[in-house]
Structure formats: structure tokens, C-alpha cells
Amino acid sequence: MKKLINKPEDVVKEELEGLALAYPDIVKVHFDPDYVYRADAPVKGKVALISGGGSGHEPMHGGLVGLGMLDGACPGQVFTSPTPDQMLEAAKMVHGGAGVLYIVKNYTGDVMNFEMAADMARSEGIRVLSILIDDDTAVKDSTWTAGRRGVGTTVLAEKIVGAAAEKGYDLKKLADLCRKVNINGRSMGMALTSCTVPMAGKPTFDLPEDEMEIGVGIHGEPGRERMSLKTADEITEMLALSIIDDPAYSRTVRELDEEKGEWVDVTLEDPPFKAGDQVLAFVNNMGGSAAVELPIIYRKLHEICEKKGLKIVRNLIGPYITSLEMQGCSITLLKMDDELLELWDAPVKTIGMRWGI
Amino acid sequence: MKKLINKPEDVVKEELEGLALAYPDIVKVHFDPDYVYRADAPVKGKVALISGGGSGHEPMHGGLVGLGMLDGACPGQVFTSPTPDQMLEAAKMVHGGAGVLYIVKNYTGDVMNFEMAADMARSEGIRVLSILIDDDTAVKDSTWTAGRRGVGTTVLAEKIVGAAAEKGYDLKKLADLCRKVNINGRSMGMALTSCTVPMAGKPTFDLPEDEMEIGVGIHGEPGRERMSLKTADEITEMLALSIIDDPAYSRTVRELDEEKGEWVDVTLEDPPFKAGDQVLAFVNNMGGSAAVELPIIYRKLHEICEKKGLKIVRNLIGPYITSLEMQGCSITLLKMDDELLELWDAPVKTIGMRWGI
Amino acid sequence: MAITTVDVLNCLRQMADVIHENKEYLTDLDSAIGDADHGINMDRGFQAILKKLPSVEDKDAGTILKTAGMALVSSVGGAAGPLYGTAFMQAGMAIAGKYELEAEDLLAILDAALKGVIMRGRANLADKTMVDAITPAVNVIREALGNGAGTVEVLEQAAAAAKKGMKDTIPMLAKKGRASYLGERSIGHQDPGATSSYLLINTMAEMARVKE
Amino acid sequence: MAITTVDVLNCLRQMADVIHENKEYLTDLDSAIGDADHGINMDRGFQAILKKLPSVEDKDAGTILKTAGMALVSSVGGAAGPLYGTAFMQAGMAIAGKYELEAEDLLAILDAALKGVIMRGRANLADKTMVDAITPAVNVIREALGNGAGTVEVLEQAAAAAKKGMKDTIPMLAKKGRASYLGERSIGHQDPGATSSYLLINTMAEMARVKE
Ligand SMILES: Nc1ncnc2c1ncn2[C@@H]1O[C@H](COP(=O)(O)OP(=O)(O)O)[C@@H](O)[C@H]1O
Ligand SMILES: Nc1ncnc2c1ncn2[C@@H]1O[C@H](COP(=O)(O)OP(=O)(O)O)[C@@H](O)[C@H]1O
Ligand SMILES: [Mg+2]
Ligand SMILES: [Mg+2]
Ligand SMILES: [Mg+2]
Ligand SMILES: [Mg+2]
């Protein structure tokens, strides 16, 4: 294992220490339980946005905390969901009196830990809603699986919902907006290489020199299918079509119902993309691919979208939701409308994403 | 070779096509000869800044073109200096009547090609000055080598000089400023893995699982020394001390003398760092290291600087001057003063670096 | 043979040892169909339990188990944290206040643990999860108690059933948790969570055997 | 035996073939002490020359070489581009206007090429560069001409000297170019640029041998 680390068990702690030293104007870090929060938290009267998940996906989520985006982020161990006490304490620290929205990627671990945290926070009198992101088209059905994983759309949702929170949307409206972003976003990822969880010390899987994994998540897990290595254009086409040609997707998720005061099953349906849609195209580096490669993917994606009648109105290209040093990429398309465009363009100042300020 | 590319010989061309499609508000791309330039070039009355070098170091240089930074960037093939005609044509395209400053990394190829380009541009009536960046403390002497390589300080110089050009500094003042940044900046890099030049198809060197290279440049070339793998703290200490304890460094470089109208030998001396200095600390990802690792390096660097009496007043952490997918990092320290601080903080809007706008 | 709180404490310590010894094994299983952290997660959790035990040495068995569960919840994360955390907390509530446990209490403990796992994770039998190891153990205990079996026998049968349940996950297609994303590719691999469940139940049996 | 412009054109085409065949070899040499691109660079440059040749087929030898040099300058990049580009351009200027070349012109060509390389790169002998292959070739041509040798003999001796010069770079410590950064580690490797220089000079000799 070749990494710029000290003891594997100290990776997350020392990363957080580094962030605290490097960006005191943007974030503060609390240890035991660990969470990253806005340097100016709590922002009075603003709904607080909290996300979290395993570490190893940097800049997500700690690097997405700041003005116009998250108020708090709870980092777990590498690829391991954080614990409810982190999420509870983060909520207590950042909530500015207008409630807390948890943005949760749909992984069994994240979902269960955030559910426990939401219950705990509510029992302490904090208004909480919680929205799942499940956008990974590599997962075809939700009946025989834990449902689609939360991947690239998470970053876009955090930006857009963060801007709306800054604008003064209330908790209910933010939850609705986050749900809207989620059902309009879809992603698909692939890996050229595996990655190595520091504590495990060896690559999660072996991938021969001439093979790749299609339909991977972001945890170094093998994907849906292993196949022989293809060109950037062929890979882009596979990923893009898996998104664009994805039919309507419906599933039942659990959401907190504020009126009933309990978790209820909600059925959601993602509408398929159609010609004429305006989209945001997000080409994500899994972490270890050379930066020169991403525009090559974008180039082909642009061509495919054009052919399919999708108009790319915004883009995001780079490592935003990574799997440690894995080589590979993912594509996310999000259908945009005027509200989303305005919120996307709004100023943001975080470690990993910054513009307009 | 595992890369998200089509034909190896098309990598640079397709990358440029992707950039042109993705960022039309920031850059335009000219093909044959290839160069990237500001979407709003030429900026009348402003000195135009041009840099260039082999590709594979993205975002440098094409990703550093835009308001507050470069006006033009000439990308060569991967790790191969661009050619004089690119630099000449770029100069003709972007110069706004106030002259052109070439910022050149000190590699034999880059130096010779930019020298030829400067001569050609001057013979076409364009005022040109050219400043070398040579900041790599891995190279101890300039008598027995081609002199220190240009590495991390290049990024900082392009930001600072770019801001000054935006503020209206004239050509002579900009050249002086660039020289000042260069003699006050020092870097040192290391590699955990090699990288693969697409056209070569295999890693430039083999590095056993338990070894690393210290004192590498940015071209996948082996470093000064191979040694057994060390912890992040030990690596940071080696890099940082090689910079902080570096004695005064003097060398003779060739610069264009405008009055004499010819190239002259100029002797420059880099003053060593001393307790009390204010510095900008730049921790650079060579490209393939997981993002979680960089703050771990910064954490230790912060401690070392403190112990040595250096005050970090600004920082930059991330992949800015990369070697394709190489795992590893480099550290750059730049002594700051009020002028440099103000210019550093000035707005910048490029693909790879953006703030304040 | 009654089980004392000292036995419970020892059993938890023994579990921590077993998990620690099997850390790499569990993580390897998780590499195949998950994200290579189950052993690491469980080990972190049981180390957290060890740290908490001194504070509850004089407490009743229910409190001890609930404390262990809370330690798991706040240290493990991932799927295993809330699942095992809830299991231990529910088990503790099922024997709240007791300082001595009889064979019937073992049923109460494991049944509550199983219900906790299902409440939290909503897995069905044959979804290829820890439920597939715990369910047969609970069933066999219930049966054995009906036949008048004692502590040791009950737990030995439970361990054997859990082991079989664990092995039975190999041919299953995962429908819950991370492994479900692999689809057909999850077939042929033993579920890491079912494996840790077997290891924990087996440790209970071994403790009882030694005590006897 | 006079060398015609057709010979010059053929020689350049032959050089392109030789460079293409040795592309990987040159790149491998550059991997050891450089940045793994010398063969790729040279091949790109000679392919560019091939594209330019049709436009100068009826021109004098000097123009042909200058055109080749300009093609190298604008296509190779790196260190080799300006160095070989300048070499070919200077060589062309040394025989400006000539349609037939005699043995003495070969000295003029290689001497001008060497001076061009040194003017541009300011390397000294034993710095482990192409200068170490070209210098002995120029010296031996001068000597051979003094002894009244003809074209073929002159070029064969030049090629032999260049080859020895190339081999002699192996034990040298590099002081110029990228290899200089390796310090002691550059010792024991043959310089890629000296190797391409030998290959080019040797191609001239082979052309002359075949023509004879
Ligand atoms: N919904 C569920 N119900 C019961 N057990 C589950 C469920 N989801 C996952 N598991 C169990 O959790 C185990 C994985 O735990 P672990 O690796 O620690 O967490 P994660 O999957 O978050 O990395 C699986 O092997 C499986 O036995
Ligand atoms: N200053 C110099 N003078 C003469 N030859 C040089 C000089 N610097 C480098 N070279 C030659 O150039 C060769 C490397 O060329 P190439 O690999 O194409 O360029 P780069 O080093 O820019 O990658 C070296 O092997 C050496 O022979
Ligand atoms: Mg996990
Ligand atoms: Mg090169
Ligand atoms: Mg796991
Ligand atoms: Mg080279």
C-alpha cells in the first residue's frame, strides 16, 4: 500500500486536523465525535444542511462545507458510514433555529445511522427532515437490492440546496427541493483500477491490466460487470446511455413525516430524460485518473447529449466525489430548470467548490 | 496502460477539444498550432501573460488561463515542450499592445523553444520579455546540471503576476515581479509511483511496493534518490527541510535585455528562508494520490513551519501541477510580502483556480 | 447452571478477542461482496465495548448489554453499527434488571436481538445478511428449550445452527446491504455479517462450555 | 561521387524510417534518464519532414535541409526540436544554393549542424548529449578529407566515430538536459540524443554505401 499517511487508523483524524489548520476561515472541526462545520455556524434563522458518509470521497463532504453549501459534515472512517452521535452533535452545533436537513446517500449504513440520528435530534427538540439521494443507474431495480446508491447527484444537491438555504427557503421547501434534485439526477460510474482502504492495506479487488469495472459505486466495491478495457469514447457512451436511456425508476423510500411525527414510506418516481431537456453535465474523476483525461470524456459526452437532444447548460468536471485513488470516472446528468440554474450559479465558498465570492 | 483515452496520439488534441466545449466563457482554443487563450483576448492595454510546457500537468497551464492569470497557454505533447510556432502564434493572438511576458519553466526544451519564440515574436514587432522559473531544491547546483527545474512556484507566479497584469503593471514591472516570485519560491517533490506517458504505453520507471523516489520533477522522471517508503510525517519533513534549510542559491540565467535588444546572462540569487518570514504554503498533489492524504501533509508542514519560525499566511492544497496519474506530492514555500499578498488575494477565474469572482 | 454478570462481562471480552482475531477474515469476506471494512468496523466496535465495560461491572446484565449496544452504535458506523447496536440494546432491554440468566433468558436475548436487527434493517430470510445466521439460532433455541435442554446444550445447538445459516448464505443472491449491488456476482460468497453473527453466538457457546 | 538532391531527399526519407524503427528504443533510453519521449518526439518530427518534402523536391539541397529543420522546430518540441531543428537549418545554410554535394560539403553540413547544436544548447563535450556523438564524427571527417578520402569512406568513418561517441556516453555523468537532474544515477546509461545522432549519421553512410 502506497499512501501519504502515517498510521492507517489515524488517516481520518489527521486529515481533519489538516483541514482545520488549512481553512480556518471556511470550516471548523470538532473531534470526538468528529464533524466539520461552517466557521460561522450557527447561521441564525437559516436552515442548517448536514450531510455525511464514509471518508475517502474527498472533497465530499467536509470539503463542501461553507457559505452556500453544507453547514455540517460527518465523516466516518474510510468508506464506513459515520455514527448517529456525530450527526446528532453536528445538528446541535449548526442549527440556527430553523431546523436541520439531513442529506443522506442511500447506503444501508448511512440510512440507518441517519435515521437513528434524526430520531435522537427530534427527541432533543430539533426539527429535522431527511432526504435520500439514490441516483445510480447501475442499480436497475429496488425490489431485489437496497435500491439505487447515492452518488454524483449528492454533490449537485448539496450545492443547489445549499444555495436555497442561503436564500431563505424553509425546511419543508428545502426538503422538497432536495427531493426534486434527486429524482432529476442520474449517475453511472466505472473503474479502471481498484483502490486500497488504508486499514485493509490491500486493493479491494484485482483488476487485470486489460479489464475494467462498469457500474461501480464509490466504495471501491466491484461494479455490475467486468469487461475488457475500452476507449474513452466507448466508455463515455456506455455511461451516458445508461443514464439517458434509463426508463422511469420508482421505489419506496422512508422519509420523516413531520405531521405524523414518524417515518413513513414514500413512493418516488424519477422521470426519464427526454429530448429538449436542459441538463447539467457532471464528469467526476474517481480520484486517481490524470486530469488530462476528463475533458476527453466531456468531449464525447457533449456529442452524445447533442445527438440525444439534451442541451448541456452547465457543467462540473473534476474530482468531487472520489473513491480514494481509484482511476475511473462517473457521469451525472441533472435536468435543470430556471430555479435550479439560479441556485447553481449562486455564490459558494467551500474548500472543494468555489465561485462568485 | 489504463487510461480514459482514445488513441494515445490524440490525447492532447481531444483534451483541448473538451476544454473548448466545456469552458467557452473562460477560454478559447486554437488548433494547429495549438494554444489556449482567454475568451476575451486580446485585453487592450494589458500586458499579455503566456506560459506553456508539456501536457500532463493539468490544470497547468491551460487550466490557468483566464481573468487574473494567464492570457495564453501553449500545450506540448505529454511531457514535451511545445514548439516556437505555438508560442509565437499565441503571442500574436493575445497581445493587447502592451507587450508579452513569457513565463518559462527551466527545462532545456522549454527554454530553447521559448527563446526561439521570443526572437521570432520580437522580429515581428511584439515587445517580449521572458522570465525563467527555477525553484526545485532537489537540484543542488547549477554548474553540473541544467539548473533547478521549474515546478510549483510556476503556479504561484502565474497567479501573482496575472493579478498584477490585471492591475496594470507594465511589462518591465511584471518581469521584475515574476523574477521576485521565482527567487522567493522553492519546491521539493516526491513520488510513490511512476506515471505512464500515453504514447510510451508503460510506466516510465518501476518503483517496488516498499520504495519511493525523493526529489522528482514533474515529468515522471526518476528523482534524486530512491529510498524505502516512509510515513507522511517523515516525507513532509524531508521535503520541507530541503526547502527551508536550502542555503542561498545562485545561478546564471539568460534573459532578454530590452535595451541591448539581445539575450544576456543574468546572475540571480535566491535568499534562504529565515525565521520570521511570512510564507505561502503550497501542497501539491502529483495527480494520483487520494485527496484525503494532502491535508495530512499540510498538518505536518504547518507544525514544521511553526517550529522553524515561518508563518503560513496563505495556502494552496490540491492538484495544480501534476504528473499525470503519479501518486506523490510536492511542497512549495513562497516568501510573501504585502504586495504579493494583495496580488494573491485578487480575483481569479480560470478552470483550475477560482476565487473572488 | 445460571449465567452471572461476570460471565456476561467475560463473554463480551471473549467476543472482542474473537472479532479481533477474525478482523482480517471478515474484511476479506467483505472485500469480495462489499467494501472491505466489516472486520475493521467490528473490531473498532468491540474495542469500544471493552473501554466501556469497567463502568458497568457492578450493573445488571441488561444494563451491560445495553451499554455494549450503545458503544457499538457510536463507534462502528456502517451497516453493522446500527444493526448490532440495536441488537445488543434490544437484548439488554429483554433482560433488564437481571443479575442471573437462565436458559430461557438466552432465548429472550437472541430473539430480541434478531427482532432489533429486522426492525432496523428490514431484511428477510435469504437476503444474505446476518439475519440468516441469527434466525436459525433463535429457532433452534426455542425448540431445544421446549425439549428441556440446558444452557450449554441450547447454546451449542444455536452455534451449530448459526454456522449452518452462515454457510447457507454462500449460494444466496444478496438482496440487502452493499452486496445486493453485485447482483448475480454476490452468489458464491459467504456473507460477512452472517459470519460475524456466527462468531458471536459461537463465543457464547464456548463460554458456557468452559464454565460447565 | 556527387550527392544529388534526390539523394538528399531519399536520405531524409530513410532517416524517417530508421527513426520510426527505433522509436521505442530511443524512448526506452529516455525512460532510464529522461522523460520517456525522445523516440516519440523524433518520430513525430521526421513524419513532419516527410510531409514537407514534396514541396521542396525541385529545390536545392540547402533549401531541403532548411525546410527539414523548420519542420523539426515546429513539430518536435522538447530539447530535441530546437537542437535538431537548428542543426538542420544551419546545415542547410552551409550549403545554400547547391544541387550537388561533394565530400567537402559533408564536412560543411555536419560542422554547421554541430555548431548549431552547441549555439542553441551550449553543451560541452562529455556533458552526455548529442554533442558527444556529432563531435567525433565531424573531427574524423575533417581528418579523412585531409587524407583525401571520398564520400563513402568519409561517411563510414563518421558513422563509426559517432557510434563510438554514442557508446562513450554510457559512463558519463550528464551535465546538460533532463538527465543532469539524475546526478550519479545518470551514469551507466546511453544518452538518447547521442543515439539518435548516431542513427542519423549512420543513415547517411548507408545511403552513400548503397549508392556507390
Ligand atoms: N438491511 C440489512 N439487514 C441485516 N443485515 C444487513 C443489512 N444490510 C447489511 N447487513 C449486514 O451488514 C454486513 C456488512 O456490514 P459492514 O461491512 O460493517 O457495513 P457496510 O456494508 O456499511 O460496509 C453485511 O454482510 C450484512 O450481513
Ligand atoms: N543542452 C543540450 N545540448 C545538446 N543536446 C542536449 C541538450 N539538452 C538535451 N540534449 C539532448 O536531448 C536529448 C533529449 O531529447 P528529448 O527527450 O527529445 O527532449 P526532452 O529532454 O525535452 O524530453 C538528450 O538525450 C540529449 O542528447
Ligand atoms: Mg462500509
Ligand atoms: Mg520531453
Ligand atoms: Mg462493509
Ligand atoms: Mg525526453
Question: Is residue D128 scored above 90 in pLDDT?
Answer: yes
Q: What is the pLDDT of residue D71?
A: 98
**Among partner residues B21, B298, B327, which is closest to A298 by beta-carbon distance?**
B21
For residue D189, the CA-to-ligand 2 centroid distance in Å is 14
Q: What is the pLDDT of residue A223?
A: 82
Contact call for A231 and B5, based on CB within 8 A: yes
Question: Is residue D4 scored above 80 in pLDDT?
Answer: yes
Q: What is the pLDDT of residue B204?
A: 86
B90 touches chain D (CB under 8 A): no
- Give the residue, out of A104, A108, A112, with the most ligand 1 atoms within 8 A of its beta carbon, to mutate for a pocket test: A108
Kindly report, residue by residue over C65-82, the tens digit of the pLDDT.
Answer: 999 999 999 999 999 999
**Among partner residues A3, A195, A296, which is closest to B6 by beta-carbon distance?**
A296
Identify the helix (H) or strand (E) that includes residue D69. helix D61-73
Is A2 among the domain residues?
no
Average pLDDT over residues C188-203: 98
Residue D212 pLDDT class (50, 70, 90 cuts): confident
For residue B268, the CA-to-ligand 6 centroid distance in Å is 27
A122 and A71 in a common domain: yes
Report, in angstroms and rounded to the nearest whole number, the Rg of chain C calculated over CA atoms: 16
C35 vs B245, residue with greater confidence: B245
Residue B205 pLDDT class (50, 70, 90 cuts): confident
B20 touches chain D (CB under 8 A): no
- Give the residue, out of D29, D41, D83, D114, with the most ligand 2 atoms within 8 A of its beta carbon, to mutate for a pocket test: D83
Question: Is residue A143 scored above 80 in pLDDT?
Answer: no
B286 and B258 in a common domain: no
Average pLDDT over residues A248-255: 95
A48 and A147 in a common domain: yes
Average pLDDT over residues C105-121: 97
Contact call for A292 and B56, based on CB within 8 A: yes
Chain D residues at the B interface, defined by Cβ less than 8 Å, are: 27, 31, 33-37, 40-41, 44, 73-83, 120-121, 173, 175-178, 180-183, 185
B321 and B236 in a common domain: yes
Q: What is the pLDDT of residue B200?
A: 87
Q: Which of C109, C85, C84 is nearest to C95 (CA)?
A: C109
How is residue B29 written as a grid cell? Answer: 482554443
For residue D35, the CA-to-ligand 4 centroid distance in Å is 5
A287 and A218 in a common domain: yes
Domain of residue A223, CATH code: 3.30.1180.20
**Among partner residues C36, C75, C176, which is closest to A108 by beta-carbon distance?**
C176
Report, in angstroms and rounded to the nearest whole number, the Rg of chain D calculated over CA atoms: 16
Q: What is the pLDDT of residue A221?
A: 76
A19 and A163 in a common domain: yes
Would you call B255 exposed, middle or buried from its count of C-beta atoms within 10 A (0-12, 13-18, 19+)?
A: middle
Contact call for D177 and B146, based on CB within 8 A: yes
**Residues sharing a CB contact under 8 Å with residue B102, sequence separation 6 or more, in sequence order:** B50, B51, B87, B91, B114, B117, B118, B128, B129, B130, B131
Question: Is residue A352 scored above 80 in pLDDT?
Answer: yes
Average pLDDT over residues A246-253: 95
Contact call for A299 and B14, based on CB within 8 A: yes
C-beta of D116 in contact with ligand 2 (< 6 A): no
Cα nearest neighbour of C180 on chain A: A145
Report, in angstroms and rounded to the nearest whole number, the Rg of chain B calculated over CA atoms: 19
- Give the residue, out of D176, D181, D195, with the most ligand 2 atoms within 8 A of its beta carbon, to mutate for a pocket test: D176
Q: What is the pLDDT of residue C127?
A: 96
Question: Is residue B100 scored above 80 in pLDDT?
Answer: yes
Would you call C54 exposed, middle or buried from its count of C-beta atoms within 10 A (0-12, 13-18, 19+)?
A: exposed
Give the whole-angstrom CA distance, residue A316 versus residue A354. 12
Identify the helix (H) or strand (E) that includes residue D24. helix D23-33
Residue B143 pLDDT class (50, 70, 90 cuts): confident
Q: What is the pLDDT of residue D181?
A: 86
Q: Which residues of B are catalytic?
A: 57, 219
Partners of residue A38 on adjacent β-strands: A27
Q: What is the pLDDT of residue A142?
A: 77
> Which one of A11, A108, A114, A211 makes the best mutation probe of the C interface by having the most chain C beta carbons within 10 Å?
A108
Percent of chain B with pLDDT over 90: 93
Strands (E) located in chain B? 27-30, 35-38, 48-55, 72-78, 100-105, 128-133, 185-191, 211-214, 225-228, 249-257, 262-270, 278-285, 311-318, 328-335, 348-349, 354-355
Atom of ligand 2 nearest to the CA of D121: 1
- Give me the domain span that covers residue A16: 11-185+249-271+339-355
Question: Is residue D174 scored above 80 in pLDDT?
Answer: yes
C-beta of D41 in contact with ligand 2 (< 6 A): yes
Residue B286 pLDDT class (50, 70, 90 cuts): very high
Please list every residue in chain B whose beta carbon sits closer than 8 Å to the beta carbon of residue A325. 288-290, 327
CA distances from C43 to A12, A82, B198, C39, C49 (A): 17, 15, 43, 6, 10
Question: Is residue C17 scored above 80 in pLDDT?
Answer: yes
Is A127 among the domain residues?
yes
C-beta of D132 in contact with ligand 2 (< 6 A): no
Is B4 among the domain residues?
no
What fold does the segment set D3-211 form as a domain?
1.25.40
A105 and A212 in a common domain: no
Identify the helix (H) or strand (E) that includes residue A212. strand A211-214
Average pLDDT, chain B: 96
B317 and B263 in a common domain: no
Distinct helix (H) and strand (E) counts, chain A: 8, 16
Q: Are chains D and A touching, using the cut-off of 8 Å on CB pairs and a minimum of 3 such pairs?
A: no
Residue B185 pLDDT class (50, 70, 90 cuts): very high
Residue B65 pLDDT class (50, 70, 90 cuts): very high
Q: Which of A339, A334, A337 is nearest to A185 (CA)?
A: A334
Question: Is residue D155 scored above 90 in pLDDT?
Answer: yes
Kindly report, residue by residue over D28-73, the tens digit of the pLDDT.
Answer: 999 999 888 999 999 999 999 999 999 999 999 999 999 999 999 9
Q: What is the pLDDT of residue A200?
A: 87
Atom of ligand 1 nearest to the CA of C123: 3
Annotated catalytic residue A57 = yes
Q: What is the pLDDT of residue B220?
A: 82
* Stretch among A16-30, B20-34, B248-262 having the lowest mean pLDDT: B248-262
- Give the residue, out of D76, D125, D129, with the most ligand 2 atoms within 8 A of its beta carbon, to mutate for a pocket test: D129
Question: Is residue B285 scored above 90 in pLDDT?
Answer: yes
Contact call for B200 and D37, based on CB within 8 A: yes
Partners of residue A253 on adjacent β-strands: A266
Residue B141 pLDDT class (50, 70, 90 cuts): confident
Could you give the count of Cα atoms lying within 13 Å of D27 in the half-sphere of its Cβ?
Answer: 25
CA distances from D152 to D34, D74, D148 (A): 34, 32, 12
Q: Note the residue count of chain D.
A: 212
Closest ligand, as measured to the CA of D129: 2
Q: What is the pLDDT of residue C181?
A: 86
All structural domains of chain C with their residue ranges: 3-211
For residue B221, the CA-to-ligand 4 centroid distance in Å is 10
Average pLDDT, chain C: 96
C-beta of C178 in contact with ligand 1 (< 6 A): yes
Is B58 among the domain residues?
yes
Cα nearest neighbour of B112 on chain D: D82
C-beta of C30 in contact with ligand 1 (< 6 A): yes
C-beta of D189 in contact with ligand 2 (< 6 A): no
Average pLDDT over residues B54-76: 98
The one-character DSSP state at B63 is G
A39 and A175 in a common domain: yes
Residue B223 pLDDT class (50, 70, 90 cuts): confident
B55 touches chain A (CB under 8 A): yes
Is B54 among the domain residues?
yes
Give the whole-angstrom CA distance, residue B202 versus residue D28. 10
Contact call for B357 and A354, based on CB within 8 A: no
Q: Is the pTM of this model over 0.80?
A: yes
How is residue B12 written as a grid cell? Answer: 492532447
Partners of residue A158 on adjacent β-strands: none
Please list every residue in chain A whose beta carbon sits closer than 8 Å to the beta carbon of residue B232. 3-6, 14
Phi, psi of A46 (to 5 degrees): -100, 140
Domain of residue B57, CATH code: 3.40.50.10440
Kindly report, residue by residue over A207-249, the tens digit of the pLDDT.
Answer: 999 999 999 999 887 788 899 999 999 999 999 999 999 999 9
3-state secondary structure chain C: CCEEHHHHHHHHHHHHHHHHHCHHHHHHHHHHHCCCCHHHHHHHHHHHHHHHHHHHCCCCHHHHHHHHHHHHHCCCCCCHHHHHHHHHHHHHHHCCCCCEECHHHHHHHHHHHHHHHHHHHCCCCCCCCCHHHHHHHHHHHHHHHHCCCCHHHHHHHHHHHHHHHHHHCCCCCCCCCHHHHHHHHHCCCCCHHHHHHHHHHHHHHHHHHHHC
Q: Under DSSP, is residue D45 helix (H, G, I), strand (E, B) or coil?
A: helix
Number of separate domains in chain B: 2
B198 and B160 in a common domain: no
Distance from CA of A205 to the nearest CA of C (A): 7
Identify the helix (H) or strand (E) that includes residue A306. helix A294-307
How is residue A301 written as a grid cell? Answer: 459526452
Average pLDDT, chain D: 96
Characterize A107-118 residue by residue with b for buried, 16 or more Cβ atoms within 10 angstroms of its Cβ, and e for exposed.
bbbbbbbbbbbb
B137 and B239 in a common domain: no
Average pLDDT over residues B270-292: 98
For residue B191, the CA-to-ligand 2 centroid distance in Å is 23
**Closest Cα to atom 1 of ligand 1:** C121
Give the whole-angstrom CA distance, residue B286 versus residue B108. 22
For residue D79, the CA-to-ligand 4 centroid distance in Å is 7
CB pairs under 8 A between A and C: 114
Question: Rounded to the nearest 10 degrees, how much is the dihedral formed by the CA atoms of C45, C51, C56, C57?
Answer: 120
Cα nearest neighbour of A138 on chain C: C181
CA distances from A62 to A14, A26, B29, B286, D77 (A): 13, 11, 35, 22, 42
Please list every residue in chain B whose beta carbon sits closer than 8 Å to the beta carbon of residue D119. none
Question: Is residue B142 scored above 80 in pLDDT?
Answer: no
Kindly report, residue by residue over D66-110, the tens digit of the pLDDT.
Answer: 999 999 999 999 999 999 999 999 999 999 999 999 999 999 999
Contact call for D75 and B221, based on CB within 8 A: no
Residue B116 pLDDT class (50, 70, 90 cuts): very high
Cα nearest neighbour of B329 on chain A: A4
Give the whole-angstrom CA distance, residue C36 versus residue A103. 24
Which stretches of chain B are DSSP H helices?
A: 11-22, 84-94, 108-123, 153-167, 171-184, 232-244, 294-307, 338-345
CA distances from D68 to A191, D85, D193 (A): 44, 8, 18
C-beta of D45 in contact with ligand 2 (< 6 A): no
Q: Which of B289, B270, B286 is nearest to B334 (CA)?
A: B270
C-beta of C92 in contact with ligand 1 (< 6 A): no
C-beta of A113 in contact with ligand 1 (< 6 A): no
Is A32 among the domain residues?
yes
B99 touches chain D (CB under 8 A): no
Question: Is residue B245 scored above 90 in pLDDT?
Answer: yes
Q: What is the pLDDT of residue B93?
A: 98
B98 and B35 in a common domain: yes
Contact call for D178 and B113, based on CB within 8 A: no
Strands (E) located in D62-112? 100-101
Average pLDDT, chain A: 96
* B-proximal residues of A, 215-244, CB under 8 Å: 229, 231-233, 235
